[in-house]
Structure 1
Amino acid sequence: MISLIKGDITKIKVNAIVNAANTSLLGGGGVDGAIHRAGGAAILEECKQIRAKQGGCDVGEAVITTGGNLPAKYVIHTVGPVWNGGHKGEPELLANCYRNALRLAIAHGVNTIAFPNISTGIYRFPKPEAADIAIREVQQFVATDNSLDEIFFVCFDDENYSLYKVRL
């Protein structure tokens, strides 16, 4: 049910991929930029509609758009916390990203989902702690809800892949 892949999340064939977005939802660097580039204008257009309606996406929250040109039907955008030493609620906010993305997936009938390594790039969340939180939240979710058939952690770099491999 929970699998690990080393690769490019924009190429994964699942119902939904999760985007490590920023609060503006307008694309950015890292996985966010890659998803927007690969998915095309439809994703950005829906993100603009969400912004017009609710003003973006708060840290720890999640919103859903089309997958555009991606193999995935949906993109679930969640905003991870910027690491500031761990004393500003960053671990709980990161956990909320996984919880809210999973809840949104279920609400939209998703049965396969792929997560990137949220907040571990330019947001500087320590990779070992982020891996622990991600795995814990997903395992807790599947312990009480069996709606999802497959959950993938997709690691772009060797360091994250190694951290997840020893933990799963």
Structure 2
Amino acid sequence: MVKSFQGVRVVDSKKTAAPILVNDHMTTNLVTFRPDDTIDHVLDLLTKRKISGAPVVDSDGNLVGIISEVDCLKEIIKGKYSNTPKFPGTVEEHMTKNVMTLSPDLSLFDAAQKFLDNKIRRFPVMKDGRLVGQISLSDIIRAFPKLRETTW
């Protein structure tokens, strides 16, 4: 009679990875605009920095809106009809004022769901009522291939 004894098996306990947060992947070196900036200035900076939008803050640094390339199109179309080569309209005239924001402590998966649900390209990130960053759809997309080896 042959008995087999394998001994005590050591089971690797999977370590639960720390949550993957917005804070880890958001942009903190932000381009921001003021409500009285011109659309001409916005278009210039968006193209130079190769970005598609940015938060709008007042003189105290409070978030008051967000301006995007799509918002700037309104002024471009207006310029076509009035045959004006410049875009003198202001950010305040065209910005989105009712801005949805995210917390830096939100998981990246929950943020991804917010992008799907709301069909927008960027969220300002707020902590304690202050603008601390911005996360874009591109930031989310860039984050996941880097996390391939991580246990979610």
**Same-fold status (TM-score > 0.5):** no
Provide TM-score, normalisation by structure 1.
0.26
Provide TM-score, normalisation by structure 2.
0.28
Instruction: Say which structure is richer in helix.
Output: 1
